[in-house]
Amino acid sequence: MKHSEPSDTPDTNDAHDAHDTTMSPFAKKLSLWLVGISVVLGLLDFVIHRHGYSKIEEMPLFFAVFGFLAFLAVVAGGVILRVFISRSKDYYDE
């Protein structure tokens, strides 16, 4: 991890990019705002009745939970798919 490296190590190695979890102060602030907005949006579900076509849709927090899980599922699906269909970048040139 980047933040656990000694500070005098030159930042030349690209290998740790993927696991670079350090966030800029701006990104941290933005994330906090996002969490705040999410909480408000979630709470609104208990104030406003969303009229939907189905009972499931009208359940409180349906869209919040579905959106969150769907995003994780899409990413997970991509990772699983990668195992089967990812080839070297020169695949068609060989």
Residues interacting with another protein, by CB under 8 A? Answer: 1, 17-21, 23, 31, 34-35, 37-38, 41-42, 44-45, 48-54, 57, 61-75, 77-79, 81-82, 85-92
CB closer to another protein, 25 vs 79: 79
Least distance to another protein, CB of residue 23, Å: 7
Instruction: Show the CA angle centred on residue 68, arms to residues 72 and 28, nearest 5°.
Output: 90
Q: How far is CA 43 from CA 29, 31, 32, 58, 60, in A?
A: 21, 18, 17, 14, 9
**Cβ neighbours, 10 Å, residue 63:** 16
CB closer to another protein, 6 vs 40: 40
